Every structure is written in C-alpha cells, then in structure tokens.
Amino acid sequence: MAAERGAAAEALVGQVVLPGDLLLLPAHYDEDAEGERLRLSAGTAPQGQLLCGPGLRRSGAGLLVTKCGLLRHRPAGGGAYWVDSQQKRYVPVKGDHVIGIVTAKAGDVFRLDVGGSEPASLSYLAFEGATKRNRPNVQVGDLIYGQFVVANKDMEPEMVCIDSSGKSSGMGIIGQDGFLFKVSLGLIRKLLAPKCEIIQELSQLYPFELVLGMNGRIWVKAKTVQQTLIIVNILEACEYMTAQQRKQALAKLSGN
Amino acid sequence: MKATPLSNCERRFLLRAIQEKKRLDGRQCYDYRNIRVSFGADRGCCMVELGRTRVLAQVSCELVPPKPSRPTEGVLFFNLELSPMAAPGLEPGRQSELLVSLNRLLERCLRDSKCIETESLCVVAGEKVWQIRLDMHLLNHDGNITDAASIAGIVALCHFRRPDVSVQGEEVTVYSPEERDPVPLSIHHMPICVSFAFFHQGTYLLVDPTEREERVMDGLLVIAMNKHHEICTIQSSGVVMLLPDQILRCSKITAVKVAEITELIQKALENDQKARKEGGKFGFAESIPNQRITAFKMESAAVDTNDVEEQAGEIIAKADPPSEVFASPVLHTPGTAQIGEGIESSWGDLEESEKEEAVEEEGESEAAAFECEKVETEDTSTLRETKSDEPIVLSDSEEEEVVILEPQELPRKTRTQTSSQQENPSKKAFNKR
C-alpha cells in the first residue's frame, strides 16, 4: 500500500480530521520526502515530549488519526495533540472517575455497571476506613463514584473508591436522593474544564450538588424536585444550545 | 448487551416527582410529547417520532392466492421488529415477551377493527388477491412504542397506493404506475392507541409514558379508539387493579387525544399530497432537520459593529500622519538585524486583558457602555497614556477596529496578535497625543 503523503499537523488544528489521516509533525517535513521512517523521540521535540492524546496513534511518520472530529493542540509542556470527537458510548480508561450502578454483590466484590462492555468489579475493602469487620453499606441499585485502577481491553475493569494514599477524596457511595441521567462524553469534558461557564451560571440560580462521571453520567441533587428537574433539563439541552440561548433560558428562570 | 439497570435513586426520584405531579420533561399528566410524521419518497413509507421514540413503517403489496376459508378477501400481514438499534437491551432472542405483546396488540388494533376493507383487495375470487404487508421497525426506544407504532401503521396504510387492476373476463391486467395512477387502499377509519401508565397502585395516572416512567410504573392500560369514539381494542397489563370509573375516565381522555392526533395525521397527509402534486421536493431528506452539536464550539465574543465606519473615520481624521523618519537597521550578525526597539513586554498584563474579556461576554449591553466610554477616552486621552503597556495591535482582521500606530515615536515592532476567536473586541482605538 503506497504511503499517503500526510498533511502538516499544525495546519489542521481546529479542523475536522477523519480516521486514516496522517499528520506530520514539524521535525518530519523534510525527511518524509525521502521516505525515511523516523521515530518520535524526546530529542526532536522542543521541550519535553509531545503528547499524543485520544483519537490519535503514533505511526512511523507521524500521528495517525483514529477517530473523526476536530483536531486540537495545546502548546504548553512540549505540546499535545488530540481529537475532540462526539461519542456517547464509554470505553473504560484507567484513572477515569466514573459513576457506577451496583448490579450484584458477589461475595467480597460488587459488580457495577459503568456503561462499558463489561461490568466493573469493586472490592468491599476499596473504601476509606473499610476493614473486614467494618463493611460499607452498599445495596444493589446504589450509585458509586470511583476511579478505574485496571481498564484495558483484555481484562474486566476494576474500580476503587480510594486514591493512592488511602483517602476517599470525594469518592464513595453517592447519597440516596437526587437524580441520575446520561449525556454525551463531549459535554462531560466541557463541563469538567476549569471555569466552565455553564456550571458557574447554574450555580447562580440556586445551590445544588453535582457529580460528573466520565462515562457520561451526571448525578444532581437540589433542594426540591422542581429545581432538580430544571438543572437536569438545562444540562441535557446544553448539548445543542448555543451560549446565547442558554443565557436567555437562565435569565428567564432567574426572573421567575 | 444488557439494559442499563435502574438505580434506586432514579426510581425514588421518579416516584416522588410523580407524587408531586411533575414529569421529567415538564409535561402535564395528560400531555403527549411532540408527534412528527414524515414521509419517504416511496408511497407507503413513513416515520413517526413521538418525542424521541421513532418508528419507521413501510407498506408493500403482492398478488397471492387467498386463504381457502376466505376466498374473496385480501390478506393482511402486520409485523413490528425490535432491534438493538432502538435500545441496548433489545437483543434478538431476549425480548420475546415484549415483542409478542406489542405485535398482538397492533394486530388486534388494525386487523380486528376492520379498518381496511379487505373485500376490495380481491382481484379474482378464489385465485388472486392482494396481500398487504405492513412492516414496522423501532428505530429508537424512549417509551410508548405502542402509540408510535399504531400511528405509523395507520399513516403508512393511508399513504400507500397499490397498482391498479382491471379484470376482463378471464384476463387480469395489472397496470404499472406509469400506465395508470396507483389506487389508495380503502380505509374506513383510523384506530389509534393511547397508553396510560399507573403508579402508586393506581393513584396516579400518566399519558404517554417515557422509557424511565415505564420502568417504574405499576400497570399499563392501552385503549385503541377512532375519531368516531368507537373503541377498537382495550388492554390492561401489569399488577394494578383498576376501578370502572378510572377506565371510563381514561376512555374520555382517549377520545380527546385521538381527535387531536387524527387531525395531525390528516394535515400531514395533505401536506405530503400537495408537495407531490406540485412537484415539490418530498421524502425524508427534506423533512428531517439537522441538529447541531455545540459541545465543541468555541464562542466568539460579540463585536458591536454599529458604526464602525464612523469611528474609524474619526480616528483616522484625528490621527497625525506617520513620521517619515525610519531608524536604520542595526546589524548584529550576518543574517540578523534589528529595526527599532521592541515595545515593553506585556506578559504580566495577560490577566488584565482576560478580565476585560470576561466582562465583554455580555455583548450588546457592554457595547453600549463602551460607546460612552469611547467618547470619554477621546477627551481624557491623557488617562490612557498611563496604560501604555496595553499592547498595540496591528491587525488585518476586518472584525476589529482599526488601531493607529504611535505617530510621533519611532515605529515600534508591533506584536501581531493571531486572530483567535477569543479575540477581545474591546481593544479600543485610542489616540495618543
């Protein structure tokens, strides 16, 4: 198969890329014409290493796109390229914080549904302050916020509710009330960005608790059912609303 | 794939919300979701969207020998299919109970109500009759498949045209669509199913339940009625016991709903008929709108371009012409030279300009404030001079206002800012005297 002449990565930042596109990095423009295969190494990058983010894969001559979406670039720390793509189906990734629903208790291990292809397992000892005598009070159907310690395509994913130092840091069983709903993964990433406007504007309406899982699940709790429903509907609609429409909707609500 | 389990907090929340007479999407207890009927390019192909539930129906016909027990009647065949495309829990083989109950209900609604005149489908008695086949596919499951499928079925049957046939003695001629216009089926009435979900042992009632509401309901009552207030089918399932006056109340609600839906169907059929007759465009490509995802959109700050020309004209008129003197280049090494000196580094000012950006987000109202401020700056331009570290921008973007270089001092190396979408339009033009 003839090698495709790729395009410069910098030229495509902010544009739509399709799977199979080859992106060339600055160090490889000249060499590629001769057909030499170079490997990315720390020496060729300006400072630090170039990070190859989701949707991209290293191939001999540059970066190969594996998901369709918009190409993004961050120059800080050696540079990072990734693809922003629209996706609703979650694939477990190590280190991700997700919301899981307990589906079964099998001996010492809970089985959780996280929206992936397999249920994740969570040991009862993986909670803060849990011992063999002091078991956490988890029932089937409860919500748990935890992170993945094992998540690859060959094994069943495993979750824990403590971080590496043994503290829970916000993870654990999510309270009884409140409401759980699902949105696309892109919206979750947008909400998790620092200083997200949507969350700031919502917090001006009334106080509420919010847990965002990277698997697309959001748990909301406000004081009354009506307030919770309003927040749920706004977050679900943020997917397709522009900022202007959102501000109008919130202005109408706060006027009430 | 297994269906996503319902968590305890969702169940509790839904039941509590229903007790307070609140639904997830803000509807009232007796409200239907938005119904959209769209037609395909073929006759007899239609798609119905009830909120997010989507059903696609297609009608086709064929000449077959009739059933021996009914030699003068046509054959009707109805089929609804559920696939994993609709919901992850709907795997083939796993949903037999739901599938069978839906199919039986739709058959009773359409066949047993005798809404289609089967005698008119006979071509040669005992030998050839039309077999009308209605295939429905569930494209997306968000609750209340029954209603959506019944609407799709009856609309597709009304929309369909079968080839014209003439019998002369022993000769039967089937005309192609080009020879003679196809003929509609003879439909007496339009039966439509309306579903009622019961909660808290029959205390609360909701019309048109969504998928989540269906998961927590106690029982379901389906009434199929036409606009002449004739009940075609009635079915109750689940673990709820209903009182007679509850059923009567439901049938009254059904009458109202069926009248509305029948009107909507008529209008949709008329619109499609008109579009086809006038030669306009018809088909799914025209009727299904595009939805835009804004999750990745970077907002461009609003720019007030009300009287840019005037402002630009004023600025140009008031500015002094640039001086003719240019500094001679200083040669550092072969290949490296410098003209003039760079302006003071303004990296520290990044927070200031960001603060300005945050202020700018409101757009119009701010722009109005800026109008006043602009007038002030021209009078109190000395105040601006203290903010000399604001970077001077020479931009080739048409959206931004023109900024004039410092006229008297040496022409400075200006930092051309790349026009990113977050560009701050508030970099006002100002004159230094």
Out of 3.30.230.70, 3.40.50.720, 3.40.718.10, 3.40.190.10, select the CATH number for domain B23-281: 3.30.230.70
A159 pLDDT higher than 70: yes
The CATH class, in words, for A179-254 is alpha beta
Most confident of A33-37, A111-115, A186-190: A111-115
The residue among B330 and B359 whose pLDDT is bigger is B330
Flag if A141 and B17 touch (Cβ within 8 Å): no
Q: With bands split at pLDDT 50, 70 and 90, how would you rate the model's confidence at B284?
A: confident
Mean pLDDT of chain B: 79
pLDDT for position B257: 94
Mean pLDDT of B319-339: 71
Of A84, A225, A239, the CB nearest to B16: A225
pLDDT value for B388: 42
B17 min Cα distance to partner chain A (Å): 6
- Work out the average pLDDT over B107-118: 92
* pLDDT value for A184: 92
Residue scoring higher pLDDT (B25 or B431): B25
pTM beyond 0.90, yes or no: no
Tokens of B380: 């109190």
The pLDDT of A208-234, averaged and rounded, is: 93
Q: Please give, rounded to a whole number of angstroms, the shortest distance from the CA of B13 to a CA of chain A.
A: 6
Fold that domain A96-173 belongs to in CATH: OB fold (Dihydrolipoamide Acetyltransferase, E2P) (2.40.50)
**Interface of chain B against chain A, CB under 8 Å?**
1-2, 4-13, 16-17, 20, 22, 24-26, 291-297, 299
| pLDDT tens per residue across span B293-327 | 665 555 555 566 666 677 777 777 777 666 666 66
ipTM of the complex: 0.83
Instruction: Write down the pLDDT at residue B327.
Output: 63
Domain regions of chain A by residue span: 1-27+49-85, 96-173, 179-254
Q: What is residue B339's predicted lDDT score, i.e. its pLDDT?
A: 75
Radius of gyration of chain A, Cα coordinates, nearest whole angstrom: 22
Per-residue confidence (pLDDT) for residue B326, from 0 to 100: 62
Q: What is the mean pLDDT of residues A100-104?
A: 94
Percentage of the residues of chain B whose pLDDT score is greater than 90: 48
- Same fold for the domain at A1-27+49-85 and the one at A96-173? yes
Residues within 8 A of B (CB atoms), A 109-168 only: 113, 115, 117, 139, 141-143
State yes or no: pLDDT of B178 exceeds 50. Answer: yes
The model's pLDDT over B68-99, given as tens digits with 9 standing for 90+, comes to 999 999 999 999 999 889 988 888 877 788 89
Say whether pLDDT at B64 is over 90. Answer: yes
Q: What are B29-42's pLDDT values in tens digits? A: 999 999 999 999 88
The domain made up of A1-27+49-85 has a fold known as OB fold (Dihydrolipoamide Acetyltransferase, E2P) (2.40.50)
